[in-house]
């Protein structure tokens, strides 16, 4: 099912990607794209208390993917707000491009992005 995975800030998006990269080299072909969610658009919010004690395990428990899949299929909202496993106090947003409200989300232009090379010096 199509879904767009985003973060509340570029810094969080960077950390979300960084934890999945090999420690030996920085990717060279990254871009960042901003998105503006109108305040009038309904957002489904998932709280940490709804996820279970093992929600930050790696790999993540399958029920978390099932939760997202159910949200996509139900199409009640275009946006699902979930806690970040990297920084639980921060929020990631899943966007459902098949929801009618998705067209109200303003998607920005892509811009080149590069990690600071010092992230790979140690």
**What's residue 23's pLDDT?**
74
pTM of the predicted model over 0.95? no
- 59 preceded by cis ω (within 30°)? yes
**What's residue 31's pLDDT?**
96
Collect all residues with Cβ–Cβ distance below 8 Å to 122 and sequence separation of at least 6.
none
**Which among 38, 37, 55 is positioned nearest to 46, based on CA atoms?**
55
CA distance 40 to 120: 41
Token output for 118: 């010092």
**Which among 37, 31, 42, 46 is positioned nearest to 84, based on CA atoms?**
46
Distances (CA, A) of 4 to 60, 66, 68: 18, 16, 11
pLDDT in tens, the chain (122 residues): 899 999 999 999 999 999 888 777 778 899 999 999 999 999 999 999 999 999 999 999 999 999 999 999 999 999 999 999 999 999 999 999 999 999 999 999 999 999 888 887 76
**What's residue 117's pLDDT?**
84
| Ranges of H-type helices in 1-122 | 10-18, 62-74
């Amino acid at each position: 099912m199509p879904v767009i995975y985003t973060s509340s800030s570029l810094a969080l998006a960077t950390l979300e990607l960084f934890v999945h990269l090999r420690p030996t080299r920085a990717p060279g072909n990254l871009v960042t794209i901003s998105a503006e969610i109108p305040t009038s658009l309904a957002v489904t919010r998932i709280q940490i208390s709804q996820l279970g004690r093992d929600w930050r395990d790696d790999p993540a428990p399958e029920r978390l993917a099932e939760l997202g899949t159910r949200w996509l299929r139900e199409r009640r909202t275009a946006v699902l707000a979930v806690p970040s496993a990297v920084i639980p106090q921060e929020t990631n947003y899943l966007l459902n491009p098949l929801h009618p409200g998705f067209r109200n989300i303003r998607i920005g232009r892509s811009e080149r992005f590069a990690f600071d090379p010092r992230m790979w010096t140690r």
